[in-house]
Every structure is written in structure tokens, then in C-alpha cells.
Amino acid sequence: MKFFFALSRLFDYINTKVGQTVIWLTLIVVLVSATNAVIRKIFSVSSNAWLELQWYLFGAIFLLAAGYTFLRNEHVRVDVLAQRLPRRTQIKIEIFGVIFFLLPACCLIFWLSIPFFYQSFILNEHSSNTGGLIRWPVKLLIPVGFFLLILAGISHLIKCIGYLRGLCPDPMARPEGKSAEEELAEEILHQAELDGKAPQGIVSPGQQDEVR
């Protein structure tokens, strides 16, 4: 398993570096959006290029940071039943989901998006809007983003298998801090305790981990 763990660390390193870089695009897109809004309101001047740049930057944030979000276990989970199961059972469900859903879907989209980008690149496709931007750079984000998500999925799969074999820590544990949902749940419990009427059947995320 040493080779696979080394591969997992490499994939995590790539996604971490990309994710930490893409984070700064959030600031840029806010500045671009604010500047465009101010110029439009004060000078009654608008630019399709600036508007499309906002969309491009948002697409870059969403696609390029998907792998990093998955790596940090910060993606949205619609978890109704699995959270009540033992951790090892949860990990087995995670492995099933990665193998039969995540990786096939990502590989399919990656494969189909390559000719989509290539045709746009060969034609040097431009926006149909007056003064708009070229199209192929934003289309390139699709295969790159899903490739990074494939790397994150493979890394997660390796760590899940390693956990079941007792070779690595829990891959579903959050690396640091608490999510907004966890903070909200703890705040509700705290407020209920202050009111002297803590709701029955509700436990904090920390207590859930202790139960497991």
C-alpha cells in the first residue's frame, strides 16, 4: 500500500495547491463585479467582456476547486441514513459511491468535454455577444476541473481502503475546524440548554463521533 499512499499524497498535493490558488479568484471576481456595477451605475457604461469575465471566474472557482473541496470533505452531503451507521459501514458505502458513481461520472464528463474544448480551440471560438471574450479558455476548465476531481476521488478511495485495513486515519473526518452545519447544531443545543429544554434525540457532531 505504500505506493498507493504516496500516489494519494501526490494527488492531494496537486489539488491543495490548485485549490489554495483558486481561492484568490473569489476576491478577484468580487472586485470585478463591484467595479462593473459602479461603472454601470455612475457612468451608464457596461461591457459584455466584463460581464463574461465574471462568469468565467465563477466557472473557474467552481470547477477547479471541486477536487480541493472533496479532499477537505466540505462538499454537500444529503445524508439521511448513513450517518446513523457505524463508521466502517459508512466507509464501505463511501467506497461503493466513489467506484460506481463518482469516478464513472467524472471520467465520462472528462472524456466528452475534451472534443468540446478542442473544437472551440481549433475554431478560436468567440462569444456571440458584442465585445465578448474568447470561449475556449472557459471550456478548457471543464476537463481540467473533472480531472482534478478524478484525482481527488482516487485519493479518497485509497484512504478509505487504508482505513478499513487499519493503515490510515479516518478519511471522512474534517481536517480542521467545524462546518457551518456543525456550528449551527451546537448553537441550537447550547441555546436549548440555556432555556432548560434541550430537544430530545439531538446530539452534537462531537457526541456523534464519541458514540461511533
**pLDDT tens-digit readout, 106-143:** 999 999 999 999 999 999 999 988 888 999 999 999 99
Which residue's entry shows cell 452534537? 204
Spatial contact of 107 and 154, defined as CB atoms under 8 Å apart: no
Q: Which three cell numbers stand for residue 93?
A: 458505502
For residue 208, the enclosing domain spans: 184-212
Q: Are residues 97 and 120 in the same domain?
A: yes
Q: Give how many domains the chain has, as a whole number.
A: 2
- On the question of pLDDT at 207 being above 60, the answer is no
Q: What is the pLDDT of residues 169-205, one digit of tens each?
A: 988 876 655 655 566 667 777 777 777 654 455 455 5
**Shared domain check, 115 and 200:** no
59 & 143 share domain: yes
Same domain, 151 and 209: no
User: 104's torsion region: left (phi>0), alpha (psi -120 to 50) or beta?
Assistant: alpha
Give the C-alpha separation, 201 to 207, whole Å.
12
